[in-house]
A and B are shown apart, each in its own frame.
Chain A
Amino acid sequence: MDFQIALLLGQDGLTNGAIYALLALALVLVFAVTRVIFIPQGEFVAYGALTLAALQAGKVPATLWLVLALGAAVTAIDSAQALRHGATRRLPRIIAVNLVAPLLLWLLLTSVDLVGLPLIGQIALALAIVVPLGPMLYRLAYQPIAEASVLMLLIVSVAVHVVLIGLGLLFFGAEGTRTPAFTEGTLDLGATTLQYQTLWILASSAVLIVALYAFFGRTIYGKALRATALNRTGARLMGISTTMAGKLSFTLAALIGAFSGILISPVTTLYYDSGFLIGLKGFVGAIIGGLVSYPVAAAGALLVGFLESYSSFYASAYKEVIVFTLIIPVLLWRSLTSHHSEEEE
């Protein structure tokens, strides 16, 4: 391997690692707040990218139907519950958020010229479609068993993952897509060249990480999420509802996932099921951080990125084997350094 190739691979590793880091942060967030191991995180990556691609092709993305359907289901369940408790005052909000908003989105999609829209508008629309799926999934799949064991929640996660994969195939077909770069062209750095999209990925990741850091460190809602993660009973006694915290963390995770997909779809061809492996690599990072530490998770995810990129050079066929086998020494290390008690289960 000469220096040039090493540099190129490093660049690759850094780009992928940045995306894995974002996903790892989202996974740690969701786990800390809700104890859900969010296996479907990766599907948001694919949904984000493929929804954007559909919009750019001038089609109303099929994910919109999913939003409408899930929104209707949430409306039905929440309204029934509110009526049972005689809390009719809650109805307008339930209907507005889950039914009217998706319908308005539909109206918007059918009335604007999707292809002619500037990229930023298309991205905003794609996010507006995909991100609400996060809190809706939380409401439908997780909230009814929010107090169940981590294991049970994990099995639900796997079930949700499987459903989303199946729906992904139905919505987007088996063909992969790429979207155009945010900025076309490459930057010549002498020793190597850099695609502008790579810069976009690195810069956006950095901005997102800083924004998350500020959200958790400076805002009362961010602190409320951290509080729920630290002590659920304590948080409830402060009026921080576990449901609110759950929906908020799922919204953030969906946003991070979908936006990650949009960031990388100009450099990687994404298929309906590509998200899973990408998400799992974020996972390896998150597990390196023990599912609790944000900085270690991010660092771990970067490590995964580099490992993947250099192993693809040396043993390209074994790339996935190497990355996923990495988890074994990591687990060994975790198991030797952590003392776990059964009480948590």
Chain B
Amino acid sequence: MASIARCLRAARPSTLSAFKTPVSRVCPVRAFHATSSNALRKYTKEHEWIDLSADLKTGVIGISEYAAKELGDVVFVELPEEGKQVNAGDAIGAVESVKSAADINAPIACKITGINLLLEEKPATINQVPEDDSHGGGWIAKVQVTEEGVKDLEKLMDPQAYAEFTAAEGEH
């Protein structure tokens, strides 16, 4: 995600409160979560998240709730290309909202193994449940993590650090 957080602010006051809630509770009632509850979640400064399997072999990518709020109504999602091998920071797709096409970047080096076709039908899912990696959620891609990708993880933030990061961004 490009840094929409700081540049496309439609309404600011309410956005920060969202981050006082731990991200893992975005959809607390969903019974069949696609990843286990102790899945490892990391965030980028560009507001993407990645959920990793316990063995760090696979993951799910999406954009953060903070980013989704700042973007406004998402009207189209350019989904990543399946099978594509990418490096950390490579643009893998984009979301369009309010006349803006904003890149989505790969949080780590990985191979795209699946895309969320629901977003083709209902792009607004990104606004409703951006951090939900289950069926019906606003996740963007499923990936296979490469060796390089495991190293890239070190540069990412855990949910706590990301919450502090976005809170600081909002204070400027």
Co-assembled chains A and B: no
